[in-house]
Structure 1
Amino acid sequence: MWLKWWLAFFVALSYFLTSIRGHSLHPKLLLISFDGFRYDYLDLAARRNANISGFLKIWDSGFRAQWVENEFTTRTGPSHFSIVTGRHEESHGIIDNVFFDPELNKTFFFSSNLSMRESYWFDVGAEPIWVTNQRQGHKSGVIFWPGSTTPIKGIVPTAAYPVYNSSIPLKTRIDDVVRWLTEENMNLALLYYHEPDSQGHKTGPNSPELLKTIEELNEAIEYLLRKIKENKVLSLSLNIILTSDHGMIEVSRNDVIILENYLDEKMYFSPGPSVRVLWGLWPVGGYTQKNIIEKLSGKHEHLHVYRKEDVPPRLFYSASSRIAPVVVYPDPGWLIAKSTKDILTMGMVIMDMTHSVRRCAPSFWPWGQDSLVYPEIELFLPSR
């Protein structure tokens, strides 16, 4: 039962609006991501008699896979870039929401518009789908998808929002992607929205406020479906994939591993929040990878400690120069804090569900064949 409870960091739904067989129109694709949409939110909403009619229209249509196999670091930046590049984190270079690059001697911050505009963070070999699409002579429209605000291989989306602004309403974003998709040769659009992740972190995954957010997202889905139905071209040609990057859990302060109990902070550098799941440790002050490993290995039954080169191959998290020499993460349901003071005011903390168990929630596409599991990096290839 414990394992089953952890089988869902990721939701992917799809709605094939109508068959395009027999029509001369070329198919178009709209990919939407609702950040932090946990696998059981729709079930939770249904049990509480919330309105999920739009989601149900999607749920009842198209192709379904039981699970999607997500990437190791299912944070917003890495996961979204894996979806659009079809590459693991170690290959596309966005290894976390915050990370240090020793070759650049700089730190990437997902929340920084400056970082998001610098090509050297994203343009390290992997090619997002909008770049591939445009190299084939088509047009792409992208709203706030990680990597879309900077040139990659010298290409930027045909249409895009230039600077991240979470205050732009979801319906406004929908209006824009629908308008873009009606333009000549515009066959691809991607839309990112920060809910229900933002609300979940504020009030928790089981709160009435979160349920209200799910209903607001449902209203937006209904609005989108009406807009498409009213458009003759899109009603005959558009596919939709609705997806997410991770789920969310509440973690007690009793289930937090305190790093300072085993490791002096002067021995390492690790950019990022002081309480989190995945830690990459860079030795400093004359200390070495071996010194840090010796301090941490075997010290806590719920703590996993690896040399970078020894990270299990199934996680695909060792090849990038941006991955720290020491990789540390806990068992599911646990967190790691830098020091005791970092959890003194913590009651119940809301954290993204990440790492370790790599199977995720029920998933749907408008094409393909039934299957038990598909990798997240093959979101666009379920018909393999």
Structure 2
Amino acid sequence: MAHPVRFIPILVLLAICLTRGTEGKYRKYAKHVLLVSMDGFRWDYIDKAKTPNFDRLECYGVRSKYVTNVYPTNTFPSHYTAITGLHAESHGIVGNYMYDPDFDEIFTIGTHDTKWWDGGEPAWITARKQGLTSGTMFWPGSEVEIQGLRPNRWYYYNESITYDQRLDIVIDMLKVDKLDFVTLYFHQPDFQGHVSGPSSQGLIDKVEEMDEYIGKLLHKLVVNGLKDDVNLLIMSDHGMTDIDHDNKLVEIWDLVDRSLIERTVDTGALMHVVPVSGQEQAVIDAINSHPHFTAYRKADIPNRLHYKNNRRIMPIFVMADEGWTITFDRDFTRRYTKKGGHGFDNRLMSMKSIFYAIGPNFKPNYAAPPFKSVDLYPLICELLGIRPAPNNGSLCNTADFLKPYRNYNDKFYNYGLLNLLRFYSMQQTRHRKKDGKLTYDLY
């Protein structure tokens, strides 16, 4: 009597032998990498909403349980870490708002001067230095010339460019310009999380809206013939937690006499303080008298934060407990009604974010363990086949997400056993509704 189970290893061995016989004939990875960020997308929002397109990503690709982002968990430091693989103290973007004592200047989110940004090498620059092309449909730092280079195609940040227009632009970058590496940024659901809070119905509605944009993106990749040429990575920069400006907001002058402080920098979940000479301990003691704030000398900031070896970190650094806010002006802060905030300790689960990936080189239905955002840059470089610049991440933490490249257009893969693989990965595109939400059958 035949034993079918025993026959399976023979087929697998045959497939391996055939594949090995073609080594060197195919690229290790597919040509294009598309990195998408949805700002402020907390890791567990998926569990709160109906997200058929994210579910499809999970089924046919990689989903990490969560990502631990760099500290501070704010937009500019976190995005620059993901794209450079460096901690904030190393790349120098230590906040959305910061002071440089050598420049004696303030940085804001509209600052594009190279001198603020050249502590790190973004992937779009690494690609260009090694003969590849890149394009950015927004990303913190993408408007800046670094090492004398820019992306081949880039845009000044402009929220009036609609999400549908952004999708069309990146598809054009991939299909027409044939750029090797492309980024895409959405400022939601962060904005909604700030306005209505991370547990609100408004937030859930916005997450479901962003799921539809994922569906549109996947659809556009297929109908433009890009599905088997693009490795798609979807990430976020931080999570979100509830804040209360009525009961959990403290003005620093309620704790410290103004005469003891020369300068404060930033506000919210953290604050940098420059004390008057000789008054450092007095300022620290005064701030630490409050049970929900912790003031550190710069040298004493916990090593796990990787946040003290940079001149843009001031002599005293203040961390707020989750949900608490420290400010230099209570009335100013209350002008902007917010129910959600971030920037808090990156150990907090509320600060964790999402990661999904799908494409020719990502394993299907792979539940990835948590990893750190510094590990994204070496993963991107690996997919592009380029040497990463020095960084704080490790490919070892993401390498298991990957599988070898297969060129499905080659006639070798159109025959025999390996055609079964092709059948599963190239199903026809079709539309359907699930729970009233638009979804796409793509993979």
With the length of structure 1 as denominator, give the TM-score of the two structures. Answer: 0.83
Q: 1:121-141: per-residue Cα shift (whole Å, max 9, x none)?
A: 1012x1111111111101001
How many Å separate the matches in 2 of 1:345 and 1:135?
A: 45
Deviation at 1:255, TM superposition (A): 2.8
Q: 1:259-278: per-residue Cα shift (whole Å, max 9, x none)?
A: 222212341312334xx111
Q: Which residue number corresponds to residue 148 of structure 2?
A: 154
How many Å separate the matches in 2 of 1:39 and 1:374?
A: 12
Q: SS at 1:327's partner residue?
A: strand
Q: Which residue number corresponds to residue 45 of structure 1?
A: 49
How many Å separate the matches in 2 of 1:197 and 1:118?
A: 26
How many Å separate the matches in 1 of 2:337 and 2:147?
A: 46
How many Å separate the matches in 2 of 1:202 and 1:356?
A: 22
How many Å separate the matches in 1 of 2:104 and 2:356?
A: 41
How many Å separate the matches in 2 of 1:97 and 1:343?
A: 16
Q: Which residue number corresponds to residue 290 of structure 1?
A: 281
How many Å separate the matches in 2 of 1:23 and 1:229?
A: 22
Distance 1:340 1:29, change over 3 A: closer
Gaps of 5+ in 2: 1-22, 380-394, 401-443
Structure 1 or 2: more strand by fraction: 1
Higher-Rg member (1/2): 2
Q: 1:342-380: per-residue Cα shift (whole Å, max 9, x none)?
A: 677798732125225166345334447865331111022
How many Å separate the matches in 2 of 1:68 and 1:208?
A: 24
Deviation at 1:27, TM superposition (A): 2.8
Structure 1 segments of 4 or more deviating over 4 A?
21-25, 339-348, 368-371
Q: Which residue number corresponds to residue 310 of structure 1?
A: 300
Q: 1:83-119: per-residue Cα shift (whole Å, max 9, x none)?
A: 0000000000000000000001100001x2xx1x210
Q: SS at 2:57's partner residue?
A: helix
Q: Which residue number corresponds to residue 11 of structure 2?
A: none
Q: Which residue number corresponds to residue 363 of structure 1?
A: 355
Q: Which residue number corresponds to residue 192 of structure 2?
A: 199
Partner amino acid, structure 1, of 2:344 = T
Aligned residues: 348
Deviation at 1:303, TM superposition (A): 1.6
Distance 1:300 1:138, change over 3 A: same
Question: Is the CA contact 2:320–2:326 (under 8 Å) kept in the aligned structure 1?
Answer: yes
Q: Which residue number corresponds to residue 60 of structure 2?
A: 61
How many Å separate the matches in 1 of 2:163 and 2:224?
A: 19
Partner amino acid, structure 2, of 1:376 = S
User: 233, 244, 247: which one pairs with 1:241?
Assistant: 233
How many Å separate the matches in 1 of 2:31 and 2:176?
A: 13
How many Å separate the matches in 1 of 2:62 and 2:346?
A: 27
Q: Which residue number corresponds to residue 420 of structure 2?
A: none
The structure showing larger relative contact order (alpha-carbon pairs under 8 Å, at least 6 residues apart) is 1
Pair 1:121-2:116 in alignment: yes
Q: Which residue number corresponds to residue 383 of structure 1?
A: 399
Gaps of 5+ in 1: 1-20, 47-51
Distance 1:362 1:168, change over 3 A: closer
Q: SS at 2:370's partner residue?
A: strand
CA RMSD of aligned residues (A): 2.5
Alignment of 1:95-134 (within 5 A): 95-110=94-109, 112=110, 115=111, 117-124=112-119, 126-134=120-128
User: 370, 378, 392: which one pairs with 1:373?
Assistant: 370
Identity of matched residues, %: 32
Partner amino acid, structure 1, of 2:115 = Y
Deviation at 1:200, TM superposition (A): 2.2
Partner amino acid, structure 1, of 2:373 = E
Deviation at 1:215, TM superposition (A): 2.7
